[in-house]
Structure 1
Amino acid sequence: MAEKLLDTPALSVTASMIAAGLGSQTWSLGASGSRPFYQAFFVSRGRATLSIDGQEEIELPAPAALWLPRRVSGTFVLAAGSEGAILSAAEDFVWRMVGDSPAAVQLHDMIARVVVAQSEKLADHAGDIGRAFEMITEEGLHHLPGGAAVVGAYFSVLLLLMWRASGASAPMTTSGTGATTLQRFRQIVELRYREQPAITDIAHALGITYDTLHRACIAGTGRSPMELIHGRLIAEAKLRLGQSEQSVEQIGFGLGFRDPGYFNRFFKSRTGEPPGAYRRRIAAQSEKGVAPSFAAWP
């Protein structure tokens, strides 16, 4: 039984088709380096087994799709005669794709946990999921013009299909009007945080009072509505400072700050350092092979 280490990809996202011949194939999960990344597997024929350290073994008869969050340790074993695909995606790439999706709030919850989609729940989506893996694999091999956009599009589709197939798209089990209010608030914030909307306007759109919205946010996250919006802005600012070649002024403008000085003060007051200093520190870490962690807003 051959064993392979699923190393951190050099690119933002890499995929490949896999097949086990006369003997099973084993992939060791988890990065040997310091850069966090996400993993996905697809079993198109045969079966596989997932073993996560400290948890019971999970059988994955085809068709089956699997999503693993960062730093999961264990093994994925593809049985003899089975076929499928694997994918690895850097953390910053995943958050960028999730942040640009209309279903950002739901996907944010999904990618943070182990997701298994199989059997009848996957039947309606297996063909499309397999196709997404194939297209990402092909684009990575041929490097055609527009390849990055194609990979991003298929990766977004893959996430959404796995979200549906896993049952994660079912109504939230959290009960209470406060939880529902918080979920709806987060959805609006994800769509409009660059506009920095007034809290009273959001409350009006939700058909509730400012006080009701404030209580729901405090109860669910321990943060006020404004703190949540600011947290989302800071998360996006960090992502752009670490990944974009735009100037600090351009990044601030893109996030709704018309005054560069105010953006600098806003960022420093919440992170402890100006955006320029943050960018230089992240660049220095990247040169040492240490990528930043793009934590999501709560």
Structure 2
Amino acid sequence: MATDGGIHHYARGEWHAPSLSHRRIRFQKGIYADFHHFLLLGEGSGELHFDNGEHRPLHGPLLAFLPPQARCDLSISAGTAAHLVGASPQIMVDAIGDKVESYSLRIFTEQRKLVEALDPLTVTEIRPLISGFVRELGDPTRSSWMVASAYIRLILMALWRGSDGERSEQRGQGEVGSILQRYRQLVEAGFRQHRPISDYAAELGVTADRLHSTCQRALGRSPIQLLHERVVQEAKLRLERSARNIQEISDSLGFRDPTYFSHFFKRKTGLSPAGYREVARASAGSENSMLSSGYADWP
């Protein structure tokens, strides 16, 4: 975990006042290469220029969310104001947290989003949060990791809800989909407790055999495999994106001792936690299928 004194290496908050000429900003540059970015464009216009050749005109007021893989530049037209907020992977891990909604937020943050004036309520809700984040980073006497993380969490939740993420997950699900969705939520809230699958089945109101057959039929994996995958995913995430040592990561994931955690992790991945961390650091900025890049394993 970085200290608050180093917050500007992990968070970015900029206010671009209206100018007499157009400006161009590179999102993924230098220390910002792996940042997630939020752009709040005021009245006026701009354009996103993606590395793949795509161009997307923007007309404010507008909110854009751009994950690291979006890789683009922003042109802001003369007379247009903009707030730009960026969060490192470490800040994003803290902001997303480990609550019931966290799994959904992780999936949500893998795709870029544009919220235009057609949805003014979402833009209106998020605007003061973006402004507050920029003010927080603009005052070096009080810039706080905890506050920055809290702002990002609120911005993400408002954007997720405003994009209908909460309701869209609930629509179109039959009984099997409902059981899987509820199991996923229970796992998200309790995977550090290492509870038996029978406890999850009891909370869902089904037998352990029914839960097993549902998961196996829909996903080709048993409930315990899915649970273990979630633990491994979180372990990978923390090994990649936090400065915690193996003991601290083991403790935070509910293991009784770091040796047991290391054996579990190596059995599941083929690498020790320390070995995985070395691979992750060596692969920074490159494509590596071993790393914790995706969360969309479940419906």
TM-score interval for Structure 1 and Structure 2 normalised by the shorter chain: 0.7 to 0.9
SS in 2 for 1:50: strand
Partner of 2:221: 223
Q: Does 1:162 align with 2:159?
A: yes
Distance 2:257 2:196 in 1: 18
Aligned-pair distance for 1:194? 0.6
- Report matched runs for 1:168-247 at 5 Å: 168-172=165-169, 173-244=171-242, 246-247=244-245
TM-score (norm 2): 0.81
Distance 1:53 1:106 in 2: 27
Aligned-pair distance for 1:41? 0.8
Distance 1:176 1:160 in 2: 26
Preserved contact between residue 92 and residue 294 of structure 1 (Cα < 8 Å) = no
Distance 2:202 2:221 in 1: 20
Percent of residue pairs bearing the same amino acid type: 27
Distance 2:98 2:140 in 1: 23
Distance 1:152 1:34 in 2: 16
- Report matched runs for 1:110-149 at 5 Å: 110-121=108-119, 123-145=120-142, 147-149=144-146
Aligned-pair distance for 1:191? 0.9
Preserved contact between residue 194 and residue 254 of structure 1 (Cα < 8 Å) = yes
- Report matched runs for 1:92-111 at 5 Å: 92-111=90-109
Assess, with a 3 A threshold, how the Cα gap between structure 1 residues 251 and 193 changes in structure 2: closer, same or farther. Answer: same
Preserved contact between residue 38 and residue 65 of structure 2 (Cα < 8 Å) = yes
Aligned-pair distance for 1:230? 1.2
TM-score (norm 1): 0.81
Aligned-pair distance for 1:280? 4.9
Letter in 2 for 1:77: S
Aligned-pair distance for 1:116? 1.4
Aligned-pair distance for 1:243? 4.8
CA RMSD of aligned residues (A): 3.2
Distance 2:115 2:54 in 1: 17
Per-residue CA distance 1:101-135 (angstroms, 9 max, x = gap): 542122122111111112242x2233442222222
Letter in 1 for 2:188: E
Aligned-pair distance for 1:295? 2.8
Runs of at least 5 residues in structure 2 that lack an aligned partner in the other structure? 1-6
Distance 1:136 1:101 in 2: 22
Say how many residue pairs are matched.
287
SS in 2 for 1:80: coil
Assess, with a 3 A threshold, how the Cα gap between structure 1 residues 259 and 53 changes in structure 2: closer, same or farther. Answer: closer
